[in-house]
Amino acid sequence: MGSSVLEAKNISVFDDYDALVKGIVELFVKLADEAIKARGKFIISLSGGSTPKGFYSRLAEAEVASRVDWSKVVVFFGDERTVPYTSPDSNQRMITELLLSKVPLSRENVFAIQDPDMDPKDAAISYERSMREFFKLSGDELPQFDFMLLGLGDDGHTASLFPGSPALTEAVRWFVDNKVEKLNTVRLTTTYPVINNSRHIVFLAEGQSKASVLKDVLTGPEGKYPSQNVKAETGKLYWYLDKEIASQLEGV
């Protein structure tokens, strides 16, 4: 595998999914400790999908959870489907069941998206308002998350920023409703200005089925995939991968 690509893109490759989970858990624990020591809290944005499930479950295990001061952790959700919280497709439900309900978080430090299935536009406006009230910024200042977790779709999307969707060009709003024509649905998503202002942006991805799109994202022409628009403008970008998804990076 081309070491130049790995180093330039800050890529970590693990032998299998279990090793990948252990690796990102160690990164999370380290960054939590650093942020809490430096600023008194660890502000995170978590993603849905199947890939991070093992990460959330591992974080909730007693021996790992005990290494994090959860009373100082502040949780936001990076994106959500427009389904009721009770739906098995809800990102918030999945993350809550696997992690948030099992660690000693302060309830007031978990910012849920209210009724995303009722009115997506209103839900997005309400969630952005919650973000603005928490960060207490003025003017054009952007919030800065300590840990922004992202995934990679087989079409190169990340968060709910899909190819061809209107949110790709959003430059002012922090959190929006986003029409996804290919899925005939509306998603709710954090926007690029907020994602790219994070201190630590972490892509977590695995599986042979996404190997070709990963290669294109990392080595192909810019602008083809939404995930390529993620830039660590003020912080650091990480790729945490298993060897299957990284298999086509050989020799690059």
What pLDDT score was predicted for residue 1? 46
pLDDT digits (tens, 9 = 90+) for 24-76: 999 999 999 999 999 999 999 999 999 999 999 999 999 999 999 999 999 99
pLDDT for 137-151, tens place per residue? 878 899 999 999 999
Closest CA to 168 of 118, 131, 223, 107: 223
Domains in the chain, CATH or no CATH each? 3-249 (3.40.50.1360)
Q: For the chain, which residues score pLDDT lower than 70?
A: 1-8, 251-252
> Across the chain, what does the average pLDDT equal?
94
Question: In this structure, how many other beta carbons lie within 10 angstroms of the beta carbon of residue 97?
Answer: 16
Burial class of residue 240, CB neighbours in 10 A (0-12, 13-18, 19+): buried
Phi, psi of 221 (to 5 degrees): -65, 145
CB distance 92 to 188 below 8 Å: no
pTM for the model: 0.95
pLDDT at 3: 54
DSSP for 59-91, written as a single string: HHSHHHHTTS-GGGEEEEESEEESS-TTSTT-H
Strand 42-46 to 11-14 pairing: unpaired
**What is the distance between the terminal CA atoms of the chain, rounded to a whole angstrom?**
7
Question: DSSP 3-state helix, strand, coil percentages of the chain (rounded to 5)?
Answer: 40, 20, 40
Strand extents, DSSP E, 15-71:
42-46
